[in-house]
DNA sequence: GAAGTGATGTGACTTGGTCCCGTCATCATA
DNA sequence: TATGATGACGGGACCAAGTCACATCACTTC
């Protein structure tokens, strides 16, 4: 429990996202971000270990949440059912307030390879947390990694759709649907192109 | 075609890996690497866009190779067969000379999160290249991404085994086996823990 | 041999990130 | 009310990564 409950972190995140959107990630210095938030470079780096992390903070909590949900899943659940439970749990923690923020975040990350690196790393961390939790349930390799991978793919797919302001479904619904699609796709890996002539893939 | 055919790049890579192994990635400066290679910091940064890239250079070639092999696969091939062809192609390009180098590379990357970030990013690049190539074959989403993902997982799994000096199988054999295991695992995603009581997962 | 080309060297510069220390507001306790 | 502890913030020195402009040198080609 912080004593002043200052919103320094939040101010820094907002200032950073604003500046990154306006001038790009590279063209924005840590000093600029801190200035706009009414703080200093030192304070910025006290809150975030590096400049990129200001956009990714809080992912550790997500990893713990996913792992906890998998651990808490009923014991007869299949690997994919446990992963589905984890998706239910994590998607429920995204308030609608964050949709606009998420929507602004995506192009910034897409436009900078350093941020894409960090995103790829964080993604791996989330998948690893799920994999470990599945291991603790007794799910062997490579089933555990695979189930976790499907979960992560479903999560990001649903996240993209949810962040799109035209979307009307809930994050949870989108994630469940994405996971179903992925499960169905596993059956098509050994399937030759047949009846429907696929044009450009969607 | 370089005129002097100087082996500056190779000297830099070897010096870097040596120093990273000796003192760690963080504790090694670009100047040190360049010095040991008989060159300067500027020359290092001319060959590699940043300090990390000295350990990952050449991955773009691998991405092109994977994509080309998928494109060249016979047209009735299933997605996973095309991916298998890509694994055959890429594993064949790893001469046994590189085993020791690869074995030394792994712990260095494992010991530094910046390098893990870069590795995760490169991994995504390889998967993306395979996914695109599968799209061009008419494989729809999310089947294409999934097949590519299995291919990449099989590649890295086999790479780890191949880099282990106690391993006797060829890289190609290991990759094929890893892909088979992954394909088999897709059938276990909806399967409850049954007969064999799994202890610690392997 | 003269001109061109590409690899390397030199040094100045910006910025990210670390570290140490000082300041100040808040809280707990006497 | 005084006092000490704690935690957030500011200031500035410092190092290393990475960029840039310019000079040099080896080798090729005409």
pLDDT of residue B195 exceeding 60: no
Confidence label for A58 from pLDDT (cuts 50, 70 and 90): confident
Taking residue B134's Cβ as centre, other Cβ atoms within 10 Å add up to 28
As a whole number of angstroms, the distance between CA B105 and CA B21 comes to 8
Confidence label for B193 from pLDDT (cuts 50, 70 and 90): confident
As a whole number of angstroms, the distance between CA A94 and CA A106 comes to 16
Taking residue A106's Cβ as centre, other Cβ atoms within 10 Å add up to 14
Q: Does the bond joining B155 to the residue before it have cis omega, within 30 degrees of 0? A: no
B1 CA, D29 C1': Å apart:
15
Give chain A's radius of gyration (CA, Å): 19
According to the 3-state scheme, what is the secondary structure of chain B? Answer: CCCCCCCHHHHHHHHHHHHHHHHCCCCCCHHHHHHHCCCCHHHHHHHCCCCHHHHCCCHHHHHHHHHHHHHHCCCCCCHHHHHHHHHHHHHCCCCCHHHHHHHHHHHHHHCCHHHHHHHHHHHHHHHHHHHHHHHHCCCCCCHHHHHHHHHHHHHHHHHHHHHCCCCCCCHHHHHHHHHHHHHHHHCCCCCCCCCCCCCCCC
Q: Would you give the DSSP letter of residue A35?
A: H
CA–C1' nearest nucleotide, residue A5: D8
As a whole number of angstroms, the distance between CA B75 and CA A116 comes to 34
Confidence label for B1 from pLDDT (cuts 50, 70 and 90): very low
pLDDT of residue B32 exceeding 70: yes
Q: Is the CB atom of residue B161 positioned under 7 angstroms from any atom of strand C?
A: no
Give chain B's radius of gyration (CA, Å): 19
Q: What is the mean pLDDT of residues A30-41?
A: 96
B101 CA, C4 C1': Å apart:
39
Q: What is the mean pLDDT of residues A67-91?
A: 97
Contact list, A79 vs chain B (CB under 8 Å): 188-191
Across chain A, mean pLDDT equals 92
pLDDT confidence of residue B4: 52
Asked if B76's CB is within 8 angstroms of A197's CB, the reply is no
pLDDT confidence of residue A89: 97
For residue A86, give both structure tokens. 């984890």
Confidence label for A1 from pLDDT (cuts 50, 70 and 90): very low
pLDDT of residue A195 exceeding 90: no
Q: Would you give the DSSP letter of residue A50?
A: S
Q: Using CA coordinates, name the residue in chain B closest to A50.
A: B114
Three-state DSSP class for residue A198: coil
pLDDT confidence of residue A183: 97
Contact of B155 with B63, CB cutoff 8 Å: no
pLDDT of residue A189 exceeding 80: yes
Each residue's pLDDT tens digit, A83-116: 999 999 999 999 988 899 999 999 999 999 999 9
pLDDT confidence of residue B91: 97
Each residue's pLDDT tens digit, B111-159: 999 999 999 999 999 999 999 999 999 999 999 999 999 999 999 999 9
Q: Which nucleotides of C are covered by protein (CB under 7 A)?
A: 6-11, 15-20, 25-27
pLDDT confidence of residue A162: 95
Taking residue A58's Cβ as centre, other Cβ atoms within 10 Å add up to 9
Q: DSSP readout, A138-173?
A: TPPTTHHHHHHHHHHHHHHHHHHHHHSTT--S-HHH
Q: In sequence order, which residues have a C-beta less than 8 Å from that of residue B166 and are 6 or more positions away?
A: none
Q: How far is A62 from chain B (nearest CA, A)?
A: 19
Three-state DSSP class for residue A2: coil
Confidence label for A4 from pLDDT (cuts 50, 70 and 90): low
Contact of A169 with A140, CB cutoff 8 Å: no
pTM tops 0.85: yes
Contact of A109 with A116, CB cutoff 8 Å: yes
CA–C1' nearest nucleotide, residue A45: C17
Confidence label for A5 from pLDDT (cuts 50, 70 and 90): low
Indicate the range of A192-201, B24-33, B81-90, B173-182 predicted with least confidence: A192-201
Q: What is the mean pLDDT of residues B16-35?
A: 97
pLDDT of residue B97 exceeding 90: no
Could you tell me which residue, B50 or A98, shows the higher pLDDT? B50
B39 CA, D25 C1': Å apart:
14
Confidence label for B175 from pLDDT (cuts 50, 70 and 90): very high
pLDDT of residue B178 exceeding 80: yes
Asked if A149's CB is within 8 angstroms of B191's CB, the reply is no
Closest C-alpha among A81, A12, A15 to residue A48:
A12
Q: What is the mean pLDDT of residues A33-54?
A: 96
Q: What is the mean pLDDT of residues B158-180?
A: 95
> Which residues of chain A between 24 and 63 are close to nucleic strand D, CB under 7 A?
34, 38-43, 46-47
pLDDT confidence of residue A194: 62
Q: What is the mean pLDDT of residues B73-89?
A: 96
As a whole number of angstroms, the distance between CA B91 and CA B171 comes to 6
Map tokens 């604003």 to a residue: A18
Taking residue A107's Cβ as centre, other Cβ atoms within 10 Å add up to 11
For residue B83, give both structure tokens. 């991916």
Q: Is the CB atom of residue B31 positioned under 7 angstroms from any atom of strand D?
A: yes
């Amino acid at each position: 429990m912080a004593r002043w409950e200052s919103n320094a972190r939040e101010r820094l995140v907002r200032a950073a996202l604003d500046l990154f959107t306006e001038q790009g990630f590279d063209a924005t210095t840590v000093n600029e971000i801190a200035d706009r938030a009414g703080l200093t470079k030192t304070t910025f780096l006290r809150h975030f270990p590096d400049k990129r992390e200001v956009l990714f903070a809080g992912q550790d909590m997500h990893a713990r949440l996913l792992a906890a949900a998998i651990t808490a899943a009923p014991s007869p659940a299949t690997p994919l059912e446990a992963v589905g439970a984890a998706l239910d749990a994590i998607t429920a923690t995204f308030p609608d307030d964050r949709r606009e923020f998420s929507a602004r975040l995506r192009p910034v990350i897409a436009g900078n390879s350093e941020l894409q690196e960090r995103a790829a790393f964080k993604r791996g961390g989330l998948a690893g947390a799920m994999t470990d939790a599945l291991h603790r349930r007794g799910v062997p390799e490579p089933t555990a990694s695979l189930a976790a991978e499907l979960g992560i793919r479903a999560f990001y797919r649903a996240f993209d759709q949810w962040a799109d302001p035209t979307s009307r479904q809930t994050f949870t619904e989108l994630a469940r649907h994405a996971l179903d699609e992925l499960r169905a796709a596993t059956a098509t890996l050994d399937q030759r192109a047949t009846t429907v002539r696929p044009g450009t893939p969607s």
